[in-house]
Amino acid sequence: MNATHDYDDLAGQYVLGTLPRAKRLEVDAELLENATLRAAVAFWEARLLPLTTLVEPSTPPASLWARIERSLGPAATLTSKPAPAARTGWWERLGLWRGLAAGGFAAAAVMAVVVGLRVNDLQQPHYMVVLAAPQNAAPGWVLKMTGATTLRLEPLVATAVPAQRALQLWTKADDWSGPVSLGLVKPGETVEVKLDKLPKIVPNQLFEITLEPEAGSPIGKPTGPILFIGRAVVI
């Protein structure tokens, strides 16, 4: 006998799928903290797995992977493990932001060449952000510092915006609790952005453009999908 036996019944029902949903979610939460319960669940997962061979496999359509990939956020690879996701808002979800640092940097390196930036005409540090579509990392906007507290947002592509919707620009440094609005943005138009009330930009600071109601998000936080996203890099 060992300690996992205390959890055998619960773990068995969890893996079998016969727990009421609320109870199953409780177990999900406890699994994060309880190694003995994890072991009991792993026992049943491994032992019952052969039952999956009773079911005929079914090849998914090619579109399914594309759909999954779209839901993951930007296509990029982080070399370090991201911090655990807080549960306070969708903008802090793990999958959403992971990969942005490397992706933003790679895109920025490319864009610095493409748009022919003059990098020596301002006091250091000098940041740039390439805002890319989460689905395919295609650059859509570039954000450049034009002064200590001013930025210029320039479109690289035309952004289609549905009727009664608007684009809203947001930023969030790593230690902020949520994104802060930098105002509405018109598709295809350059806009000057003032940061005067905000702290100075820090490396890796996030910028994103979301699709919001025509007058902007009513709650002061992003409510719509992220259309473009990127992190500040020093150039």
Residues 20-39 that bind other proteins (CB under 8 A): 21, 24, 31-32, 35, 38-39
CB 97 within 8 A of CB 222: no
Q: Considering beta carbons, is residue 45 or 192 the nearer one to other proteins? A: 45
Q: Does 10 bind other proteins (CB under 8 A)?
A: no
Number of chain positions touching other proteins (CB under 8 A): 58
CA distance 74 to 212: 20
How far CA 28 is from CA of 19, 21, 23, 41, 206, in Å, comes to: 12, 10, 9, 10, 31
Q: 6, 69, 154, 189: which one contacts other proteins (CB under 8 A)?
A: 69
Q: Shortest gap between Cβ of 117 and other proteins (angstroms)?
A: 28
Query: How far is residue 76's CA from residue 78's CA, in Å, rounded to a whole number?
Result: 7
β partners of residue 191:
153
- Binding string, 76-95, against other proteins, x = CB under 8 A? xxxxxxx-xx-------xxx
Choice between 53 and 164, CB closer to other proteins: 53
Take residue 2 and report the two structure tokens written for it.
């060992």
Count of H helices and E strands in the chain?
6, 9
Binding site for other proteins (CB under 8 A): 8-9, 12-18, 21, 24, 31-32, 35, 38-39, 41-43, 45-61, 64-65, 67-69, 71-72, 75-82, 84-85, 93-95, 98-99
